[in-house]
Amino acid sequence: MCSSSILISRGILNLTHYTSYEHSQELNVDEIY
């Protein structure tokens, strides 16, 4: 149970990091063009 909760929390962190990274990429594209 403990390991599963850690995996879930890590997955959420990865999702938030990935979405924020995509958002920053879009912002950079807007700045360039």
pLDDT digits (tens, 9 = 90+) for 5-32: 888 889 888 888 777 777 676 666 666 5
User: Three-state SS for 33?
Assistant: coil
Q: What is the pLDDT of residue 32?
A: 57
DSSP state of 1: -
pLDDT at position 33 over 70? no
DSSP the chain: -HHHHHHHHHHHHHHHHHHHHHHHHHHHHHHH-
